[in-house]
Amino acid sequence: MELSIFTESTEFLTIISISIFMAISPGPDFFMVSRNSMMYNKTAGIYTAIGISIAIWLHVAYSIAGLAILISKSLFLFSIIKYIGAAYLIFIGVKTIFSKSGIQQDVVKDLKGKDIRKFESFKIGFITNALNPKTTIFFLSIFTQIVDKDTSLVVQIIYGGIISLAHFLWFYCVAYFFSHPMILRKFERYQKRIETLVGVALIIFGLKVAFTKAN
């Protein structure tokens, strides 16, 4: 059964709106990109954003395959994902709090940031998004309640691309903002406090993830 043009247009606009909302809503992804951008450099923030946008495709893939329902209904699978994700966020949070270096001190002084491998930044973004059970629940609701069962596979993949692109564009902007020398100079005076605040935020999100329920 083919969808009407009106239904397809409504569905398309709804996905775009939700994609923007998902991207800009404050959460672990935002704090990870902000953290890497401030503590290292813009490149680190951008590669973290790339990791997040690629992880989106993981959620899209299992949602299209119908595995999102299985994950949400299986207490064992859901628990594994949420506890690993929670532990990771808490680990990075604690690591940030006890970091001996201030926020991009080298950048503030001579516009050169501390080094971090691009793959490491990518991995942080990917793991943070992939192991967030709230993202799993979000995608489950999108592909079961918003996307019509008669929507073609190609269109569903396009929807996934829209969501992934929205995340990348938003977090690219976040990385650019928090790594800008002018912003870093403003934050220099409170650099350790900011690192502590970001670390605490990640720990709080980790605890929230740990207590996330599938239903």
DSSP 3-68: PPHHHHHHHHHHHHHHHHHHHHS-SHHHHHHHHHHHHT-HHHHHHHHHHHHHHHHHHHHHHHTTHH
Residue 11 lies in a domain: no
122 contacts 51 by C-beta, under 8 angstroms: yes
Residue 181 lies in a domain: yes
pLDDT in tens, 123-152: 999 999 999 988 888 898 888 888 887 888
Using 70 as the pLDDT threshold, list the residues of the chain that sit under it: 1-8, 100-116, 214-215
Residue 140 lies in a domain: yes
207 contacts 86 by C-beta, under 8 angstroms: yes
**Cα(120)–Cα(143) distance, integer angstroms:** 31
- Residue 21, both tokens: 């909302």
Report the domain count for the chain.
Answer: 1
Q: Which secondary structure element, helix H or strand E, spans residue 194, and what is its range?
A: helix 191-210
Residue 154 lies in a domain: yes
Residue 12 lies in a domain: no
pLDDT in tens, 27-59: 999 999 998 998 888 999 999 999 999 999 999
| Domain with 170 in it | 28-210
Residue 19 lies in a domain: no
Q: What pTM does this model have?
A: 0.83
**Cα(143)–Cα(165) distance, integer angstroms:** 18
How far is residue 178 from each of residues 9, 19, 97, 173, 185, measured CA to CA in Å?
36, 22, 18, 9, 11
Residue 15 lies in a domain: no
